[in-house]
Amino acid sequence: MKAIVIEGYKKPLRVAEMPLSELGEHDVRVEVYAASLNPIDYKLRDGLLRMIQSYDFPLILGHDLAGVVTAIGSKVRKFSIGDEVYGRPRGSRIGTLAEYISVHEDEVSLKPHNISFEEAASIPLIGLTTYQAFTDVMALQKGQKLLIHAGAGGIGTFAIQLAKAMGAYVATTTSENGYDLVKRLGADLVINYKQEQFEHIIQDYDAVYDTLGGDVLKKSFTVLKPQGKLVSIAGLPGGNFAREAGLGPLKTVLFSVVGRRMNALAAKNKVDYHYHYMKPSGLDLFSIKQRIEANQIKPVIDKTFDFHDTAQAFAYLETGRAKGKVVVRVK
């Protein structure tokens, strides 16, 4: 099969012939119709995630998929050959930028029937990350006030829609180029980060969803009410993350040291800080599927690239200008 691979960290992408991955007894083999890109893809390519997950080379890239089941393992009970599915495989089994991939049946769901394969492929990672952040970590409630950073980006466009579907009041940051998009998606308050400082405009919010890290994350502590919740997917992970991820004693100590500053800021501002790293879940994807089919969420795609133009897709994503997701059409 053809696949997009790298031969080592910081090595160029290339199209290569690769063997089909082994089909386990609980796996489904999916013919990939479309895959989408996320910042984690170029961070992985550049070796920035080595502390969390190590890989052998050549490595097939890609974390999101949508396609059709072509084979099933002997103990698969949830899917049949011919099912249209979408999913996000676990970190040790990535490789969706390929013609085929084998995935554990618990990590895929039936595809929403009212969207295309390209739209479905844009959802899994951002959808799971946000759904779990809002439901499992924040326990977001109707009427609560939520700030979402970078509302016009891949995660932001999904997060605004899900938060509004859950009944929250949503403020978001964007540039003037993203204003119309985030308003159309339902944002109640739009803050132009190029002209305004969000920490001077809002206060006493129930929750913040940080997708940027750095100074934005630090300033976000100040806009929350006491016992408010700040969930970051771009900040520095701490010891709790290392323990949950099973990274071992040494890395747990290292991440604990790294996370002290965030914990100190949380204590100073009397808020709850959580670094969030999503977990693959077909059940959560099925819940997202139901919301998409109920027209509560509409995938937002900026650009779609052909398979042989995947390197251009990476380059475009890295510009940071994408409004919504960048998708690769595999089939």
147: β partners: 171, 208
Which amino acid does the sequence have at 6?
I
Residue 78 in domain: yes
Residue 111 in domain: yes
- Domain span at residue 156? 126-275
DSSP conformation class of 235: S
**Claim to verify: residue 154 and residue 261 sit in the same structural domain:** yes
Decide if pLDDT at 61 tops 70.
Answer: yes
Residue 73 in domain: yes
The CA-based angle 212-54-76, given to 5 degrees, is: 95
Decide if pLDDT at 130 tops 80.
Answer: yes
Residue 254 in domain: yes
Q: Whole-angstrom Cα distance, residue 96 to residue 169?
A: 35
Calculate mean pLDDT across residues 287-305: 98
Instruction: Say if residues 121 and 65 touch (Cβ distance below 8 Å).
Output: yes
How many other CB atoms sit within 10 Å of the CB of residue 183?
16
Q: Whole-angstrom Cα distance, residue 220 to residue 229?
A: 10
In the structure encoding, which two tokens stand for residue 188, read together? 């109640």
Q: What is the pLDDT of residue 238?
A: 65
Calculate mean pLDDT across residues 281-296: 98
Percent of the chain with pLDDT over 70: 95
Which amino acid does the sequence have at 56?
D
Give CA separation, 154 vs 36, 90, 318, in Å: 10, 20, 12
Q: Whole-angstrom Cα distance, residue 87 to residue 281?
A: 8
More confident residue, 244 or 328: 328
Count how many domains the chain has: 2
**Claim to verify: residue 116 and residue 136 sit in the same structural domain:** no
Residue 292 in domain: no
What's the mean per-residue pLDDT of the chain?
Answer: 94
First-to-last C-alpha distance (Å) of the chain: 12
**Whether the bond into 58 is cis, omega within 30 of 0:** yes
Nearest Cα residue to 9 out of 70, 63, 62, 55: 55
Q: What is the pLDDT of residue 239?
A: 60
Q: What is the pLDDT of residue 54?
A: 83
Q: What is the pLDDT of residue 254?
A: 72
Q: What SS3 state is found at 199?
A: helix
Q: What is the pLDDT of residue 230?
A: 97
Calculate mean pLDDT across residues 109-138: 98
Could you report the per-residue pLDDT of 223-272, keeping only the tens digit for each?
999 999 999 999 877 667 767 666 677 767 777 776 778 888 889 999 99
Q: Report the CATH number at residue 176.
A: 3.40.50.720
**Claim to verify: residue 131 and residue 266 sit in the same structural domain:** yes
Residue 286 in domain: no
**Claim to verify: residue 172 and residue 73 sit in the same structural domain:** no
Per-residue pLDDT band at 177 (split at 50, 70, 90): very high
Q: What is the pLDDT of residue 258?
A: 67
In the structure encoding, which two tokens stand for residue 30, read together? 């999916």
Overall pTM > 0.85: yes
**Claim to verify: residue 143 and residue 193 sit in the same structural domain:** yes
Residue 62 in domain: yes
Decide if pLDDT at 314 tops 80.
Answer: yes
Instruction: Say if residues 26 and 106 touch (Cβ distance below 8 Å).
Output: yes
Instruction: Say if residues 182 and 121 touch (Cβ distance below 8 Å).
Output: no
Q: What is the pLDDT of residue 176?
A: 95
Calculate mean pLDDT across residues 125-149: 98
98: β partners: 3
